[in-house]
Amino acid sequence: MTTRDLVLIALFAAIIVFLGIVPPITLGFIPVPITAQSMGVMLAGCIIGAKRGSLAYLLVVLMVAIGLPVLSGGRGGLAILAGPTAGFIIGWVVGTFVTGLIAEKLVRESQTGGRQIAGFFLASVIGGIGVVYLLGIAWLAFVTGLGIEKAVMGSLVFIPGDILKAAIASLAARAVIVGYPLLPQRA
Amino acid sequence: MKSLYVEGGTPLHRITVRTKLVMLLAASVVLFFVTSPLVLLPIFLLCAATYFTLGLPLREAFGRVGWVLFAILILALATLYFDGARQAAAMALRIGAVVFLAAAITATTAVSAFMDEITILLQPLERVGLVRAADVGLALALVIRFVPEILERYGHIREAHRARGLPMRPLTLFAPLIILTLKDADTIAMAIDARGFRRQ
Label each residue of chain A as H, E or C: CCHHHHHHHHHHHHHHHHHHHCCCECCCCCCCCECCCCHHHHHHHHHHCHHHHHHHHHHHHHHHHCCCCCEHHHECCHHHHHCCCHHHHHHHHHHHHHHHHHHHHHCCCCCCHHHHHHHHHHHHHHHHHHHHHHHHHHHHHHHHCCCHHHHHHHHHHHHHHHHHHHHHHHHHHHHHHHHCCCCCCCC
pLDDT in tens, chain B (200 residues): 678 888 888 888 888 888 998 998 898 888 888 888 899 999 999 999 999 988 888 888 888 888 888 888 888 888 888 888 888 898 899 989 999 999 999 999 988 888 888 888 888 888 887 888 888 989 998 998 899 999 999 999 999 999 999 988 888 888 999 999 998 888 999 999 998 888 76
Please give the C-alpha separations between residue A9 and each of A12, A94, B80, B125, in angstroms, as whole numbers. Answer: 5, 15, 43, 19
φ/ψ of A34, rounded to 5, equals -100, 135
Measure B123 CA to nearest chain A CA, in Å: 16
Taking an 8 Å cut-off on Cβ atoms, the answer to whether A11 and B101 are in contact is no
Q: What is the pLDDT of residues B81-120, one digit of tens each?
A: 888 888 889 889 998 999 999 999 999 998 888 888 888 8
- Partner B contacted by A140 (CB < 8 A): yes
Average pLDDT over chain B, rounded to an integer: 88
Average pLDDT over chain A, rounded to an integer: 85
Q: What is the pLDDT of residues A60-117, one digit of tens each?
A: 999 999 888 888 877 888 888 888 888 888 999 999 999 999 999 998 888 888 899 9
Multiple choice CATH, A3-179, 1.10.1760.20, 3.30.110.30, 3.40.50.300, 3.40.50.880: 1.10.1760.20
Chain A residues close to B77, C-beta within 8 Å: none
Q: Is the ipTM of this complex over 0.90?
A: no
Chain B residues close to A68, C-beta within 8 Å: 1, 3-4, 111, 144
Chain B residues close to A69, C-beta within 8 Å: 1-4
- Partner B contacted by A24 (CB < 8 A): no
| Spans of all domains in chain A | 3-179
Mutate to test the interface with B, among A5, A9, A12, A18 (most CBs of B within 10 A): A18
Please give the C-alpha separations between residue A164 and each of A13, A35, A129, B126, in angstroms, as whole numbers. Answer: 22, 11, 11, 41
Four-residue CA torsion sign, A176, A180, A184, A185: negative
- Which pLDDT does position A98 carry in this prediction? 96
- Which pLDDT does position B132 carry in this prediction? 85
For residue A34, the cross-strand partners are: A25
CB of A7 within 8 A of CB of B188? yes
- In whole angstroms, give the CA distance from residue B136 to residue B154: 26
Q: What is the pLDDT of residues A113-163, one digit of tens each?
A: 889 999 999 999 999 999 999 998 888 888 877 777 777 777 777 788 889
